[in-house]
Amino acid sequence: MRWLLGFIGFFLMGSLHGQKVVKKAFLPPSVEYIQVDSQFCYRVTLSTSKSNEVEVSALMEGEYAKDLVVTLEERGETILIAATFQPNFTAPNDKLSAHKVVSIALDVSVPQYKNVSVYGTVSNVKASGDFKNLNVSLSNGRCVLKDIGESVTVQTQKGDIFLETANGNINAKSTYGRVVRDDIPKGDNRYILNTIEGTIQLKKTK
């Protein structure tokens, strides 16, 4: 394990509204996989760019803002991204305070056509751009996909899934919920969408 080489920027801003941490790093050519740990994030916005940089911006509000830290670690061909808390941070014991801990908004921009995975619990994920493979695994969080390719797989427990696309090869299943779909023509992009209790909505781009 090592911290990501090629680190080009770090910004820490404090205000009455919270603390914002921004990190940028060059992505080594050997890296093909990017993992985003959204355990403490209530919102994740994921996009792609034509550059070879990774940019991560985390905004945290509330009494625990000072304990926020953003990490980028390189493990072989994989970059691990996380917005988490300082090692000496002690999570509150009572449920009301513990709920406040999940209060980070995370924006992540990665190079096009990489293998990216996002995993969390209550995170709401919004993704767009061009991925070689995108895998999103959530529990109660909602996943919104717009203007996205090439191959996308989403799995949730209770979280709803929304896909807006002009065309694609779509396999959507909700075990105990509903699948509401427009008439979307076949296309090259592939979408595998599964939820246990959530609703899946498929909308054709106008």
Residue 11 lies in a domain: no
Task: Write down the pLDDT at residue 100.
Answer: 56
Task: Write down the pLDDT at residue 74.
Answer: 87
Residue 108 lies in a domain: yes
Task: Write down the pLDDT at residue 6.
Answer: 42
Determine contact, residues 154/165, Cβ cutoff 8 Å. Answer: no
Task: Write down the pLDDT at residue 76.
Answer: 87
Cβ-based burial of 29 (10 A; exposed 0-12, middle 13-18, buried ≥19): exposed
Give the residue ranges of the chain where pLDDT is below 50: 1-16, 96, 98
Task: Write down the pLDDT at residue 29.
Answer: 83
Range(s) of the domain holding residue 35 = 19-86+102-204
Residue 113 lies in a domain: yes
Task: Write down the pLDDT at residue 93.
Answer: 64
DSSP-derived secondary structure for 119-152: E-SS-EEEEEEEEEEEEEE-SS--EEEEEEEEEE
Q: Is the dihedral of CA 61, 67, 72, 76 positive or negative?
A: negative
Q: Is the dihedral of CA 55, 60, 66, 71 positive or negative?
A: negative
- Domain count of the chain? 1
| Model confidence, pTM | 0.86
* Nearest by Cα to 194 from 174, 170, 169: 174
Task: Write down the pLDDT at residue 148.
Answer: 97
Task: Write down the pLDDT at residue 12.
Answer: 44
Cβ-based burial of 80 (10 A; exposed 0-12, middle 13-18, buried ≥19): middle
Residues β-bridged to residue 171 = 192
* Nearest by Cα to 133 from 115, 158, 145: 115
Tell me the one-letter amino acid at 75.
R
